[in-house]
Amino acid sequence: MYLCFEVIQKRKSMSDKIYPIGIQNFETLRKDGYFYIDKTAWIYRLVKTGRYYFLSRPRRFGKSLLISTFEAYFQGKRELFEGLAMEQLEKDWTVRPVLHLDLNIGKYDTPEGLDRILDDNLASWEQEYGTRPTETTFALRFKGIIQRAVERSGHRVAILVDEYDKPMLQAIGNETLRDEFRKTLQPFYGVVKTMDAYIKLGFFTGVTKFGKLSVFSALNNLDDISMWNEFVEVCGISEAELHANLEPEIHEFARAQGMSDEALCDKLKECYDGYHFTHNSPGIYNPFSLLNAFKRKEFGNYWFETGTPTYLVELLKKHDYDLHRMAQVETDADTLNSVDSESTNPIPVIYQSGYLTIKEYDSRFGIYQLGFPNREVEEGFMRFLLPYYAKVTKVETPFEILKFVREVESGDYDSFFRRLQSFFADTPYEIIRDRELHYQNVLFIVFKLMGFYVKVEYHTGEGRIDLVLQTDKFVYLMEFKFNGTAEEALRQINEKHYAQPFQSDARKLFKIGVNFSDRTRNIEKWIVEE
């Protein structure tokens, strides 16, 4: 009896929040009692201060829910906003026609894939607002729908487009297909400008920015708020929002993990915070990962469990990108705001997809420094990349990294290098145009992943030792050569006194020279001096 009472009391003390994992419909979220962080004040401000907007945010960042909230607002569903900021701010609650186009649901591997989605949406709107025989193109049909919707309702329409760039992203690397999508979308989106008098608000979301995609070439009156400080918190969760809405749950999560509240918050920040969408802005948490962590009371790479687009890897490999540069990218606003598949710089897409974020800003020169936002992204992205660069599968990757770490922690450098050799074995010659860069990229990924468990400092070509790897018992100094000799690499370690900073260190020191051979297409030899 006492035990049952104790269990009931414990349940009462637990959080009763229902986390909206995968819930993208505002009406469902509110009616079914899901947890919601109030973003409606930003929606009110956007509606009252502008007409046409574009917002770029990474996937799973709440863009679809934001669009759905706009939709409920314009439909006049006042009851859904009870207790929220909008209830106090809005007095009129005008019911307007809403044309909501969601391009996230299609598969765009042929021109017909886009055509089917547009046709289905237009047909649905035509059932409500009618059609004319002369409206034979997507653009003409869209124009006619907007006009009739306003004439019948007496109010201007709201046009909401979610994931406008999905077709273009899926066609990266296929310029013929991208051109077809451009030809379809340009006149379609151009209708929004043509029908300005009939439109109350146009709001477009996507992952990438529209600068060089040219699908908005006829729609040049969009306010791109993606880097506006004023709206940086419109999607995602800020530090202030976290503590204002989840303080009891923080304590509960910390208790489940056997941590203090402070330690838990530090780890949440390390894993899921760190997105900066403009300079001098607060860090933003990835809402999908954060809420999953609270729901399960476990830390995990939740964002990556939903998949990572392969087009990112294709861009990196297509342009022979040096991955070492990714950790210290410097660029300007024009670059960040553009996407050009013909460019040799894949960074804009990587940044806009959420795998890099703004770390610092030099106002004098207008230069942004980019980096990984948090551990989840850095570790998850490196794990995702490795199978595309080395002979290892996605499933094997975490186990192989574990073995690498165990080998260096035990001082078994021969097993370590034999395992590394297997990563380069049987790599098809034709897919590697720059073999030296390929070796550098594989090493960078491997040591980045090891760096989450042991101390790794990886450098290239700056007059410093290529690699310093430290464990509790050992220090490894490694120098890599390409088409040289292992002896030459070891001699460089000694002649340049790379070991000098560790002379008074009690740990055992290994000096290792390694040579990659273009002839064998692998690590040819390593020499160790203890």
Q: Under a CB-based contact definition with an 8 Å cutoff, are residues 404 and 419 in contact?
A: yes
Q: Under a CB-based contact definition with an 8 Å cutoff, are residues 471 and 408 in contact?
A: yes
Question: How much is the pLDDT for 8?
Answer: 38
For residues 325 and 302, what is the distance between their CA atoms, to the nearest angstrom? Answer: 26
Q: Which residue type is seen at 114?
A: L
DSSP class of residue 218 equals T
For residues 98 and 125, what is the distance between their CA atoms, to the nearest angstrom? Answer: 10
User: How do strand 329-332 and strand 508-517 relate by DSSP bridges?
Assistant: unpaired
pTM: predicted TM-score of the whole model, two decimal places: 0.89
Question: How much is the pLDDT for 217?
Answer: 64
Does the 26-231 domain belong in CATH 3.40.50? yes
For residues 182 and 213, what is the distance between their CA atoms, to the nearest angstrom? Answer: 8
For residues 5 and 325, what is the distance between their CA atoms, to the nearest angstrom? Answer: 59
For residues 115 and 271, what is the distance between their CA atoms, to the nearest angstrom? Answer: 40
Question: How much is the pLDDT for 12?
Answer: 41
For residues 65 and 140, what is the distance between their CA atoms, to the nearest angstrom? Answer: 29
For residues 372 and 354, what is the distance between their CA atoms, to the nearest angstrom? Answer: 9
R_g of the chain computed on alpha carbons:
27
Residue 90 phi, psi (nearest 5): -90, 130
Distances (CA, A) of 32 to 18, 20, 329: 9, 10, 44
Question: How much is the pLDDT for 212?
Answer: 47
For residues 161 and 184, what is the distance between their CA atoms, to the nearest angstrom? Answer: 15
Question: How much is the pLDDT for 210?
Answer: 54
Bridge partner residues of 330 (DSSP) = 369
CATH number of 390-529: 3.40.1350
What six digits make up the tokens of 14?
A: 């637990």
Q: What is the DSSP string of 279-298?
A: TT---EE-HHHHHHHHHHTS
Strand order across the 329-332 sheet: 329-332, 367-371, 357-362
What six digits make up the tokens of 297?
A: 């009371």
Question: How much is the pLDDT for 100?
Answer: 98
Q: What is the pLDDT along the chain (530 residues), one digit of tens a residue?
A: 444 434 334 444 567 899 999 899 999 999 999 999 999 999 999 999 999 999 999 989 999 999 999 999 999 999 999 999 999 999 999 999 999 999 988 889 999 999 999 999 999 999 999 999 999 999 999 999 999 999 999 999 999 999 988 898 888 778 899 889 989 998 999 999 899 999 999 999 988 775 545 676 666 778 989 999 999 999 999 999 999 999 999 999 999 999 999 999 999 999 999 999 998 888 999 999 999 999 999 999 999 877 777 778 878 887 788 888 887 889 988 888 776 545 567 888 888 889 999 999 999 999 999 999 999 999 999 999 999 888 888 889 999 999 999 999 999 999 999 999 998 886 655 455 677 888 888 999 999 999 999 999 877 655 678 899 999 999 999 999 999 999 999 999 999 999 999 989 999 999 999 999 888 888 999 999 98
Residue ranges of the chain assigned to CATH 3.40.1350: 390-529
Residue 83 phi, psi (nearest 5): 85, 0
